[in-house]
Amino acid sequence: MRLLPSTAHKFSGGPIINPRCDYRSEPVLIRETTLSDFDGIWPIFHEIALAGDSYAYSRDTSREEAERLWIGVPRRTFVAEIGGRIVGTYYIKTNQDGPGNHVCNCGYMVSSSARGKGIATALCFHSQKTAAELGYKAMQFNFVASTNDGAVRLWQKMGFDVVGRLPRAFNHPVKGYVDALVMYKWLDT
């Protein structure tokens, strides 16, 4: 667990980044986590892990383990707030050590009650800035369920390529074994 000074950024958004998100009426604040933030992150994490259709977390991941995975292990974790309520979150960490340590990995979660507002786009945009600030040259998503059309489309819009397809690597709760995708973006352009 890290307690870091909160570095807050008002995310200005705008039509190029996400035309659906009306930041004027509901400003989205993206800031680094503080020690107490997991109270707001846990319901989102728990909901998404329990659904079992998008992330490589066990459905019965405990709150303690979730906090370790989402805040303890990563280099940095951020939250997105609307009106003081946490509606989304992302982490950033090094994907592989040594000869691979110039590539980061991020994970994003948005509360089901706040979807369709461009929060994931805002988080991904923010994470790419964070990645550059931390000196990473590329970003990789290791395990995107091929059935998660919304996510695949969104990451492609954000400049990520599908660079790998893992046959039947994702055990979907309804569809059974489906492929998982590896997505990748070189940031240093």
Task: Return the number of the residue (8 or 56) whose C-beta is nearest a copy of itself.
Answer: 56
CA distance 159 to 128: 11
- Site membership for a copy of itself, residue 62 (CB under 8 A): no
Task: Return the number of the residue (156 or 171) whose C-beta is nearest a copy of itself.
Answer: 171
CA distance 179 to 23: 35
Which residues in 137-176 contact a copy of itself (CB under 8 A)? 137-138, 140, 142-143, 145, 163-173
Nearest to 137 by CA among 159, 104, 98: 104
Among 23, 57, 125, 155, binds a copy of itself (CB under 8 A): 57
Q: At 79, which helix (H) or strand (E)?
A: strand 76-82
CA dihedral 4, 10, 12, 17 (to 10 degrees): 30
- Site membership for a copy of itself, residue 85 (CB under 8 A): no
- Angle at CA 48, nearest 5°, toward 14 and 132? 45
Answer for the pair 107, 120: CB distance below 8 angstroms, yes or no.
Answer: no
- Site membership for a copy of itself, residue 102 (CB under 8 A): yes
Among 59, 68, 85, 129, binds a copy of itself (CB under 8 A): 59
- Site membership for a copy of itself, residue 116 (CB under 8 A): no
CA distance 95 to 103: 6
Task: Return the number of the residue (9 or 137) whose C-beta is nearest a copy of itself.
Answer: 137
Nearest to 185 by CA among 114, 137, 113, 133: 137
- Site membership for a copy of itself, residue 58 (CB under 8 A): yes
Minimum distance, C-beta of residue 139 to a copy of itself, in the bound complex (Å): 11
Minimum distance, C-beta of residue 7 to a copy of itself, in the bound complex (Å): 27
Rg (CA), the chain: 16
Task: Return the number of the residue (5 or 99) whose C-beta is nearest a copy of itself.
Answer: 99
Which residues are at the interface with a copy of itself (CB under 8 A)?
Answer: 49, 52-53, 55-59, 61, 96-103, 137-138, 140, 142-143, 145, 163-173, 177, 180, 182, 184, 186
